[in-house]
Amino acid sequence: MKEITAIIRRDKLPETKKALDELGYSSLTIQSVDGRGKQKGAMCAEMDSEMPGSFCTTVKLKPTPSAYALEHTLPKVALYVPKRMLTLIVPDDVVSKLVKSIVKVNQSGKRGDGKIFVSPVEGAVRVRTGEMDGEAIS
């Protein structure tokens, strides 16, 4: 078993869920998360694609600095971009197919498209029935 963790743009969530459902993997956990990558807090260049293109020139952002930024000298305020984090536990043999599907839906070629992590899972138990491992994730 493997755990697939995908951090994606918020506006890509419905399309990603649909793609996974079409492959027969609709069981997942979704969380709202904030983070930053290589953009190092350059908010306007890295905002979700749902923001209008003229947003940065028409609206002055008043960012909330992180606690770290308030206590330390940083070249600029550390901003965090809202994303969605999806987590799936799947059999080993479907990992490649699911990762390719997630990439296909979310790849725009711009910074901020997201990241996918694949990790081994040692075991699983369905609490309601006591089923273990492969039976617990199906």
The 10 Å Cβ neighbour count of residue 3 is 15
Counting residues of the chain whose pLDDT is more than 90, the rounded percentage is 59
* Element housing 67 (H / E): helix 67-71
The 10 Å Cβ neighbour count of residue 54 is 8
Does the domain at residues 2-137 carry the CATH identifier 3.90.1150.10?
Answer: no
pLDDT digits (tens, 9 = 90+) for 58-116: 444 445 555 555 666 655 555 788 999 999 999 999 999 999 999 999 999 888 899 99
Domain ranges in the chain?
Answer: 2-137
pLDDT digits (tens, 9 = 90+) for 3-41: 999 999 999 999 999 999 999 999 999 999 998 877 665
Q: Which residues of 112-128 are buried (b: 16+ CB within 10 A; e: fewer)?
A: bbbeeeeeeeeeeeeee
Distance CA 95, CA 68 (A): 37
pTM of the model: 0.74
Please name every residue paired with 81 in a beta bridge, in sequence order, or none if there are none. 35
The answer to whether residue 46 scores a pLDDT higher than 60 is no
